[in-house]
Amino acid sequence: MKFISTNGKTVEILKKYNLFPRKNFGQNFIIDPSVVIKIAKESCDKSTTTLEIGPGIGALSEQLCIYSKNLIAYEIDNNLIGILNENLASYDNFKIINQDFLKADLSFLKDVEIVVCANLPYYITTAILFKLFESDLKIKSINVMMQKEVGDRLMASENTENYSALSVIVQYLYDVKKMMKISKDVFLPKPSVESVVLTLKPRFKENINQELFFEFVKQSFGQRRKTIFNNLKKYLNEDKLNRLNLKYDLKKRAQEFSLAEFIKMFKEVCDE
């Protein structure tokens, strides 16, 4: 069987349908079967309902059909719908939805435990992740390919240059691990950046107001060069700021505080 993810098959499909990768949709097609096979194998099994965003011509979708119970894929590009249905016609566990995922109503999935698996369009990676984070879906894991630079920010720990409010918020919600690093050579066309596949698994959440906590974290990182004291001046009243200052060194910058410290500080003055 010649997988879609081989260079030859990909070129054949593109020529057959006179297709060209569309930059406005962030399309880069994977042409190395070992990559998509590993992602599918490590992400799902035959009990899994898998959700894919941006299937392209079906390189990863094909493997997800093989290894999942069923696959639901969102594709925004009208030109690819017929091609996907034809390429994956031999799989009866595949459903394609022609819609912008960011505008999609996902309520029909609310009672189903799902695994998210995708090669995300790099220009909207964060937006897609936050739609998932803020949904009520029962997500077992999120396994996504993204630009290495974004992946580094999600995995970053305190006292590193990539550590940000995004790092703290994502790590509060999920345990983040790197599944594999991806060379730019496995794509057609070849992108200008390296990629990485991350696995995010839901972690225990504290009994705190999540929305307020995220705002507290964002305010703390307001301006990276400022101390956390100066960043929080406009967010906390003087009494609360002074109470925090008695217990924590607020002359430090936000990137010097760990997730655990942010939770403790928040509980001290905001979760009352």
Q: Locate CATH 1.10.8.100 in the chain.
A: 210-269
Contact, 162 vs 156, CB < 8 A? Answer: yes
Max mean pLDDT among 20-24, 44-48, 120-124 falls in: 44-48
Is residue 151 pLDDT above 90, yes or no?
yes
Angle subtended by helix axes 210-220 and 259-269, to nearest 10: 110
Top-level CATH class of 210-269?
mainly alpha
Total residues belonging to the chain: 272
Residue 164 dihedral angles phi and psi, to the nearest 5°: -150, 180
Is residue 1 pLDDT above 80, yes or no?
no
CATH 3.10.20.440 for the 7-202 domain, yes or no: no
Q: What is the pLDDT at residue 102?
A: 96
Contact, 269 vs 244, CB < 8 A? Answer: yes
Q: Which two tokens stand for residue 178?
A: 């790197």
Confidence class of residue 175 from pLDDT cuts 50, 70 and 90? Answer: very high
Contacts (Cβ under 8 Å, ≥6 apart) of 170: 129, 133, 154, 176, 200
Residue/partner pairs of 108-111 with CB below 8 Å, 24 or more apart: 109/49, 109/51, 109/72, 109/137, 110/136, 110/137, 110/138, 111/138
> What is the tens place of the pLDDT at every residue in 78-118?
989 999 999 999 999 999 999 999 999 999 999 999 999 99
Q: Which two tokens stand for residue 223?
A: 């301006």
CA distance 87 to 46: 21
Q: Locate CATH 3.40.50.150 in the chain.
A: 7-202
Q: pTM (2 decimals)?
A: 0.91
CA distance 104 to 245: 44
Confidence class of residue 271 from pLDDT cuts 50, 70 and 90? Answer: low
Q: What percent of the chain has pLDDT over 90?
A: 83
Is residue 244 pLDDT above 90, yes or no?
yes
CA distance 254 to 163: 9
Confidence class of residue 123 from pLDDT cuts 50, 70 and 90? Answer: confident
